[in-house]
Structure 1
Amino acid sequence: MGRILAIDFGKVRTGIAVTDELQIIASGLETVATKELIEFLKNYTTSENVELFVVGEPKQMDNNPSESEALIIPFLEKLKKAIPKIPIERVDERFTSKMAVQTMIDSGLSKKKRKNKALVDEISATLILQSYLYSR
């Protein structure tokens, strides 16, 4: 079995989470500058066995795509061209950023650490991945 890698795509930063090889546990991996994301994923998939990419799908409350979906579509096309052997699935990511902040509060992190947007993105990617694992 290979790992599943989740992506919480952002205009500036992108949170990355990954499972263990048995696909049981989702863990935050890193936050990457979005402009370096494809290169990061190419390097990571060269050194690790990744079976699937799970990419957050931002939706509005009425189930329509959010504005940020317009940024994700071109990224998905680049990803398919750069790493064609790994399939991509989408997961509804509504409320993941709010849930990430709440997780940080519940964990007892200080206000200063909760303002770390890179950490919020990484936790959001972990929540997306955990949601995917629960749904299958």
Structure 2
Amino acid sequence: MARLMAFDFGTKRLGIAVTDPLQIIATGLMTIHPKDAPSFLKDYLSKEEVTHFIVGEPKQMDSSPSESTRHVEAFINMLKKQFPQIKIERIDERFTSKMASHSIAQCGLKKSDREKKGLVDTVSAVIILQTYLDKRSFGF
């Protein structure tokens, strides 16, 4: 089987997570600058097969689009244009950063490590991917 890849998009950082080839476990891959995404993905996809991109969809509490939605839409359009063979799914990303920060705090890392924003973005991407895996396994 091929991997799934998830993104927590931000204008300054892009958190990336992937599954194992059996699509069982979500693992943080890295955080990069969004402008580096096309070249990073071309390189990664030359080595690994990915069938789906899972993109965190920013929403307000009332489920309306957030201010960052336009940036995420531009990112999704880039993915569609440059990687048309890969299916794109969206997952509600409300609270993922808060859940990521809480998870990191529970790991017992030093405060300086817990405050690294790139780590929060990578863990957020893992949460987005795990949410997708859970929904898929329950038939949603």
Q: Which bracket does the TM-score occupy, shorter chain normalised?
A: over 0.9
Q: Secondary structure at the match of 1:40?
A: helix
Distance 2:77 2:111 in 1: 37
Matches within 5 A, 1:4-15: 4-15=4-15
Residue of structure 2 in register with 1:56 after alignment: 56
Give, in whole Å, the separation in 1 of the partners of 2:56 and 2:75.
Answer: 12
Counterpart check, 1:105 vs 2:105:
yes
Provide the C-alpha distance between the structure 1 equivalents of 2:87 and 2:70, rounded to a whole number of angstroms: 20
Aligned pairs for 1:1-136 (under 5 A) are 1-136=1-136
The residue type equivalent to 1:124 in the other structure is S
Identity %: 55
Amino acid at match of 1:90: R
Give how far 1:74 is off: 1.1
Structure 2: which 5+ residue stretches go unaligned?
Answer: none
Q: Give the TM-score normalised by structure 1.
A: 0.98
CA offset digits 1:78-121 (Å, max 9, x no partner)? 11111110010000000000000000111111211111000000
Q: CA deviation at 1:71?
A: 0.5
TM-score between both structures, scaled by the size of structure 2: 0.95
Deviation at 1:39, TM superposition (A): 1.3
Letter in 1 for 2:123: I
What are the Cα deviations for residues 27-60 of structure 1, in whole angstroms up to 9, with x where unaligned? Answer: 0001011110111111111110101000000111
The one-letter code of the counterpart of 2:135 is S
- Structure 1 stretch 40-49 or stretch 85-94: which is displaced more? 40-49
4+ residue segments displaced more than 3 Å: none
